Structure 1
Amino acid sequence: MKLTPPATAPRAGKRPQPDTHHGITRIDDYAWLRDANWREVMRNPDALDRDIRAYLEAENAYTEAALEPLAGLRETLFKEMKGRIKEDDSSVPSPDGPFAYFTRYLEGAQHPLFCRRPREAESGETVLLDANKEAEGEAYFKIGDVDHSPDHRLLAWSADRKGSEYFSVRIRDLGTGQDLADEVPDTSPGIAWDAAGKSFLYTQVDDEHRPLKVFRHVVGTPASADTLVYEERDEGFFVGVGKTQSGKWLVISSHDHQTNECWLIPADAPGTPPMLVAPREDGVEYDLEHDAARNRFLILTNADGAEDFKIMEAPEADPSRANWRDVIAHRPGILILNHVAFRDHHIRLERQGGLPRIVVRRLADGAEHEIAFAEEAYDLNMGAGYEYETANLRFSYSSMTTPAEVYDYGLETRERVLRKRQEVPSGHNPADYVTRRIFAKAADGEEVPISLVHRKGLALDGSAPCLLYGYGSYGISIPASFSTTCLSLVDRGFVYAIAHIRGGKEKGYRWYTEGKRLKKRNTFTDFIAAGEHLAKQGFTSRGNIVAQGGSAGGMLMGAVANMAPDLFKGIIAEVPFVDVLATILDASLPLTPPEWNEWGNPIESREAYEYMASYSPYDNVRPQAYPHIFALGGLTDPRVTYWEPAKWVAKLREARTNDGVTLLHINMDAGHGGASGRFERLKEVARVYAFALAVTERHKAGLRCALPLDTV
């Protein structure tokens, strides 16, 4: 199948702009693609400079023309993926007092319904919020919060209608089904109701899109009358709000990527000034839960050098740092990820050797037991639910071959009750697939885990193409969970693999610190080692791998494209953070100040500047043979601004010395998360998977798919 692109690919004109730091001058030919009025563009996309708009639209038109011969394949992929979704699916109802709350979808609908029914009943549903109705007429619509008041009379809900992550909160009277006059604009997701359901805390986002202020809104009053409760003075720290599982305390957390502090307000006295738990200490994180029956807090923290975290306790009357005492000591190599306290049990989610497990601790006597599974690679998550006085824990389990299963677990009986198994309407037999967990040796001897799945019987002789996914930043671990979408590649002979590289926490907190700041290059070399190992073991071959990553994972894509271009056949970079040095040098951008602890501060440190300059994907584009590259962004994205992929593609297209394609698509109606509806998102996945199938010459009908070449 031969694709015929337009005769000439778009070319961004060069407008050299110098930038000097530490006596080092960089020349950026494409800096003009950043609209000087970008803040207004986030709120009003129509404000985009017309020259920039014309260029982005030309890139979009070129990409659509280049991929047009794959239109049939894209539609086939979309229908396959849609066929694996139970369109009228619903979640397992979560009990809270007299009701059980759940979400469900209507067949063909893009957005969910938020519902409740009487607690023990199987019928009597009430639809509290129909997101489809709220989304009517909107090019973009995303729900942020849907949170009922403790007395079940009101529903606070928020939505973003531009993709720029400015959420507006509305209050719905659940007796009438109508929204009140209250409207609170410019918030970030997360609210915390007081005990009486008469007010809630929320976080306001400023003009730089930074959540720095916490306000209290009293139901029935205008937002202009809201009370400022907390203001963060350090722009490198962002704030959020929440509530302990007991419902007794409202929590304000201020944090960057390695340090935080918490403030407490009694939920039954929301006008009380917040009480500081422990002042911030560089590198110390803590998160607390309330053990109401014992008048204490249980604190998950890395204090005192507990790299993989430990659990401490402090009296409710005075939880200051001096009163913290160990409950569960630090155990190197066993990373505590999360915890929740119920009346009689304290539950924690841990990871050891890359695999998760749930540990149940009886508070009366400290007796513990584990919930774990036997597969080589799997994903395990626990949900706190709404209630505090409960003897049940809800958790979910899946693997790369096993669809998600939701269980209710008796904390005393240890009985597992399967409440829901993910349905795949078009059919799925786990026995038709093989999932593996293998290890690649990095250059410094570290063992890099790789989770993978392929069809049973696939010849592992190097002939199979591979899609290798990676992220590797912020301590975020990529789970080996079930994906209905990747089956469209696997069923066409792909090996689908996830490289659990440094920068995540798959092998403990050290795995994160070994992939940040002045050790960031480990993230990229780990990914390259994973690709090389997959080729050596016969799962694929060099030059037959399509790499995929998004956001900070898109930075990974840009880095490995520069460092090992011949290893990859194609690169899929979604909302890619590729203009690293320029972004982290610009303190006016929304996320830059908190990022200095992740990457280093190149404004103050020449060492950080030079190290970042050594890998920043945009700055290291050079004349060489590059893989086929497909970059995607969003016009109103406040996290990775649209101009990063736009500048990168412009520079790549000029530098490429081989025949190949460089494609850019900017979603002009969305931000960081892409299209908001569930089916529109599947169309985006189908587009990039069609690209992967084309570059590797794999097609359902067995046809060869050749991509268009950039015309120089």
Structure 2
Amino acid sequence: MKLTPPADAPRARKIPATDTHHGITRTDNYAWLRDENWRDVMRDPTVLDKDIRSYLEAENAYTDKALEPLADLRETLFNEMKGRIKEDDSSVPSPDGPYAYYTRYEEGSQHPIFCRRPRDAENGEAEEIVLNGNVEAEGEAYFKLGDVAHSPAHRLVAWSADRKGSEYFTIRLRDLETGKDLADEVPDSSGGVVWDAAGTSFFYTQVDDEHRPLKVFRHVVGTSAQADTLVYEEIDPSFFAGVGETQSRKYIVIDTHDHQTSEIHLIPADAPELSPRLVAAREEGVEYDLEHDAERQRFLILTNAEGAEDFKVMEAPEATPEREHWKDFIPHKPGTLLLGHVAFRNHYARMERQGGLPRIAIRRLRDDAEHEIAFAEEAYDLSLGAGYEYDTSRMRFSYSSMTTPAEVFDYDMETRERTLRKRQEVPSGHNPADYVTRRIFATAPDGTEVPVSILHHKGTPIDGSAPCLLYGYGSYGISIPASFSIAALSLVDRGFVYAIAHIRGGKDKGYRWYTDGKLFNKKNTFTDFIAAGEHLAAENFTSRGNIVAQGGSAGGMLMGAVANMAPDLFKGIIAEVPFVDVLATILDASLPLTPPEWNEWGNPIESKEAYEYMASYSPYDNVRAQAYPHLFALGGLTDPRVTYWEPAKWVAQLRELKTDDNALLLHINMDSGHGGASGRFERLKEVARVFAFALAVTERA
């Protein structure tokens, strides 16, 4: 089935608005799509300006009409993907004192159920429901749980929920003996909760009217949120604050950071009323994160200080953790990027990436003996789970690849015994031997080798005839893992090659891989992605003009950039919550995320050079009269990260200027934000919709 767009596409009114920076004047014909009362819309979508609402609803109706012939395909895809989910699945219980905590789903349910049982009980034995997300979500158009954190005495649970998609979470307290919530209610939090040692108070971060997490408060159980104590306030709007704890649970950790600098304050968990103690004052370009080695009364500090580009670990006495007392514990090793760490009583585990692949290293703290956990596949994903406990020799990790469903292991750090605790079930059936996963390298214009992970069915001919879905992100140092995807199989089983381009801007090949794809190196991200597509065609995995590109958020900006730069390479573009109005957004310091973004993109307010560089690639500003691929843009009305007007303006500009007859579709979810629809099955329906689009434009529907 071929996707044929209807002829009656909506046309947004043109109302020119101008702004001038550094003597350069730009005109924006669609700036009116940004509601002046956007802050109010985040909290109450019903107050959206009626003209803007009418236009967005017209675009949604047009998209529904265009995709109507694909309704059966979408339903088929949804049922396929749903059939690969074990509907009554549950997580591996995680022990904490007398209990083991876990989540499970019931057949047909959208949201998780949080449970516990006695530590040594068998599956389902003496189960106690801590919180049922399905009950809490009843009657809500949108519902997302933030945190579900039990108190140290296991009597109370602090839980948070967002009911608009705007990421304003309200925290409540549940008494597990009565099953009822207390009167305590804390609005406008970022969602996370950290208890003190006694369980009489908890810490949280408040989100302000600009949606910036700048204040950390302490709430005492049984009191009003208006009486909460301000513990820390960040005065620099380019730094965001967060709160956590060390694995030892001895310290509350207040972390403030932008994209390249961090600062930590500590509060003893058994003395929550004390003022936070600064560890090391922020130093531009220096990041650090710490863990607590309680047995040896020291902190282990993961940092890029002293020129350690790929990070190293330093130690400092617990009594004097200031910068001048830091000394090397694990030296910097160029090419081995340290990603994260956790300290147990007798062992120290860290995640590393070497040669583009993750691994886990274990150090025994009594004698510093080390070993690694090894894996054999060409491309895979690995994650380290700390669990709740500190005094244990067991840690948990998860492994998957593009062909291998997720496996959860408990690992004895002392004996090196690996115990499989859970293997992801695919009820409809999955044989890894039916699929091929590979990692190849594309050569960028400057000679850099860019990794590309590939999945295809073993029966797919590698002769250039297969369509390809090429996914990319490439910002903020985020690396896209080569993990198992129940959704991707629906494309691969229909003859697609599914590929992930590990482009610069992530940290796939070390920290420099990130810096080589940000600020004045940002265009490397786009040319890397284009090089990946061209290499896939050159190696006959697909062909030029038969590639559907997909990316979301900053990856959506990537989609907009490559659509402008190399439109003939792609058959279709899927841009989810796309950050495409880059220049206007980063020029507007009032928007929620703009000040912290200046270290990622540059500050066009102060720097003409940054302004001109961003103007040269900002997708919205570079739409021009040319043929474009089929394009599907998706956004969320209450999205505080990528505001709804970015994809709306972009589509309006494209519809005005593009010279082709290809489909141009926009869908704004009027009940959600950045993460799309809530609930595991509603999200699958969104995936089915964009995959139906990909199949239709490549005429595989």
**TM-score, reference length from structure 2:** 0.99
- Counterpart of 1:710 in structure 2 is none
Counterpart CA distance in 2 for 1:353 and 1:200 is 41
Query: Structure 1: 5+ residue runs without aligned partners?
Result: 700-712
Query: Structure 2: 5+ residue runs without aligned partners?
Result: none
Counterpart CA distance in 1 for 2:146 and 2:7 is 44
Per-residue deviation, 1:481: 0.3
- Counterpart of 1:698 in structure 2 is 700
Question: Could you tell me whether the CA contact under 8 Å between 2:3 and 2:697 is conserved in 1?
Answer: no
Matched ranges for 1:305-320 at <5 A: 305-320=307-322
- Counterpart of 1:105 in structure 2 is 105
One-letter amino acid of the counterpart of residue 604, structure 2: P
Which of residues 373, 376, 381 is equivalent to 1:374? 376
Regions of 4+ moved over 6 Å: none
- Counterpart of 2:526 in structure 1 is 524
1:508 paired to 2:510: yes
Matched ranges for 1:116-265 at <5 A: 116-122=116-122, 123-265=125-267
Which of residues 341, 349, 365 is equivalent to 1:363? 365
- Counterpart of 2:80 in structure 1 is 80
Counterpart CA distance in 1 for 2:234 and 2:469 is 42
One-letter amino acid of the counterpart of residue 10, structure 1: P
- Counterpart of 2:566 in structure 1 is 564
After superposition, the C-alpha distances for 1:248-268 in whole angstroms (9 at most, x for unaligned) are 000000000000100000000
Counterpart CA distance in 1 for 2:195 and 2:286 is 28
One-letter amino acid of the counterpart of residue 52, structure 2: I
- Counterpart of 2:352 in structure 1 is 350
When the two structures are aligned, how many residues end up with a matched partner?
Answer: 699
Counterpart CA distance in 1 for 2:349 and 2:23 is 53
Matched ranges for 1:263-662 at <5 A: 263-662=265-664
Per-residue deviation, 1:192: 1.1
Counterpart CA distance in 1 for 2:156 and 2:75 is 42
After superposition, the C-alpha distances for 1:230-279 in whole angstroms (9 at most, x for unaligned) are 00000000000000000100000000000010000000000000000000
After superposition, the C-alpha distances for 1:394-427 in whole angstroms (9 at most, x for unaligned) are 0000000000000000111111100000000000
After superposition, the C-alpha distances for 1:46-85 in whole angstroms (9 at most, x for unaligned) are 0000000000000000000000000000000000000000
After superposition, the C-alpha distances for 1:587-620 in whole angstroms (9 at most, x for unaligned) are 0000000000000000000000000000000000
Per-residue deviation, 1:686: 0.2
Counterpart CA distance in 2 for 1:623 and 1:442 is 27
Question: For 1:460, what is the secondary structure of its paired residue?
Answer: coil
One-letter amino acid of the counterpart of residue 372, structure 2: E
One-letter amino acid of the counterpart of residue 65, structure 1: K
One-letter amino acid of the counterpart of residue 218, structure 2: R
Question: Could you tell me whether the CA contact under 8 Å between 2:3 and 2:696 is conserved in 1?
Answer: no
Per-residue deviation, 1:562: 0.1
Range that drifts further, 314-323 or 452-461: 452-461
After superposition, the C-alpha distances for 1:208-228 in whole angstroms (9 at most, x for unaligned) are 000000000000000000000
Per-residue deviation, 1:6: 4.0
One-letter amino acid of the counterpart of residue 327, structure 1: F
1:32 paired to 2:38: no
- Counterpart of 2:41 in structure 1 is 41
One-letter amino acid of the counterpart of residue 225, structure 1: A
One-letter amino acid of the counterpart of residue 32, structure 2: W
Counterpart CA distance in 1 for 2:174 and 2:408 is 30
Counterpart CA distance in 1 for 2:499 and 2:655 is 28
One-letter amino acid of the counterpart of residue 246, structure 1: S
Question: For 1:60, what is the secondary structure of its paired residue?
Answer: helix
- Counterpart of 1:13 in structure 2 is 13
Distance 1:39 1:635, change over 3 A: same
After superposition, the C-alpha distances for 1:147-199 in whole angstroms (9 at most, x for unaligned) are 00111111000000000000000000111111000000000022210000000
One-letter amino acid of the counterpart of residue 12, structure 1: A
Counterpart CA distance in 1 for 2:442 and 2:2 is 36
Range that drifts further, 581-590 or 183-192: 183-192
Counterpart CA distance in 2 for 1:332 and 1:339 is 18
One-letter amino acid of the counterpart of residue 398, structure 1: S
One-letter amino acid of the counterpart of residue 92, structure 2: V
- Counterpart of 2:65 in structure 1 is 65
Question: Could you tell me whether the CA contact under 8 Å between 2:152 and 2:197 is conserved in 1?
Answer: yes
Question: Could you tell me whether the CA contact under 8 Å between 1:167 and 1:189 is conserved in 2?
Answer: yes
After superposition, the C-alpha distances for 1:638-668 in whole angstroms (9 at most, x for unaligned) are 0000000000000001111112010000000
One-letter amino acid of the counterpart of residue 555, structure 2: G
**TM-score, reference length from structure 1:** 0.98
Counterpart CA distance in 2 for 1:388 and 1:118 is 19
After superposition, the C-alpha distances for 1:349-381 in whole angstroms (9 at most, x for unaligned) are 000000111000000000000002010000111
Question: For 1:282, what is the secondary structure of its paired residue?
Answer: coil
Question: Could you tell me whether the CA contact under 8 Å between 2:4 and 2:663 is conserved in 1?
Answer: no
Question: For 2:557, what is the secondary structure of its paired residue?
Answer: helix
Question: For 1:189, what is the secondary structure of its paired residue?
Answer: coil
After superposition, the C-alpha distances for 1:558-593 in whole angstroms (9 at most, x for unaligned) are 000000000000000000000000000000000000
How large is the Cα RMSD of the aligned pairs? 0.6
Question: For 2:190, what is the secondary structure of its paired residue?
Answer: strand
Per-residue deviation, 1:125: 0.6
Percentage of identical aligned residues: 81
Counterpart CA distance in 2 for 1:124 and 1:407 is 24
Question: Could you tell me whether the CA contact under 8 Å between 1:81 and 1:485 is conserved in 2?
Answer: yes
Counterpart CA distance in 2 for 1:4 and 1:248 is 61
Question: Could you tell me whether the CA contact under 8 Å between 2:297 and 2:317 is conserved in 1?
Answer: yes
1:23 paired to 2:23: yes
After superposition, the C-alpha distances for 1:108-166 in whole angstroms (9 at most, x for unaligned) are 00000000000000111100100000000000000001000111111000000000000
Counterpart CA distance in 1 for 2:63 and 2:368 is 60
Question: Could you tell me whether the CA contact under 8 Å between 1:356 and 1:372 is conserved in 2?
Answer: no
One-letter amino acid of the counterpart of residue 161, structure 1: R
One-letter amino acid of the counterpart of residue 21, structure 1: H
Per-residue deviation, 1:457: 2.6
Question: For 2:442, what is the secondary structure of its paired residue?
Answer: strand
Counterpart CA distance in 2 for 1:133 and 1:348 is 38
Question: Could you tell me whether the CA contact under 8 Å between 2:172 and 2:181 is conserved in 1?
Answer: yes
Question: Could you tell me whether the CA contact under 8 Å between 2:111 and 2:134 is conserved in 1?
Answer: yes
Per-residue deviation, 1:7: 3.5
One-letter amino acid of the counterpart of residue 637, structure 2: L
Question: Could you tell me whether the CA contact under 8 Å between 1:333 and 1:353 is conserved in 2?
Answer: yes
Question: For 1:360, what is the secondary structure of its paired residue?
Answer: strand
Per-residue deviation, 1:31: 0.1
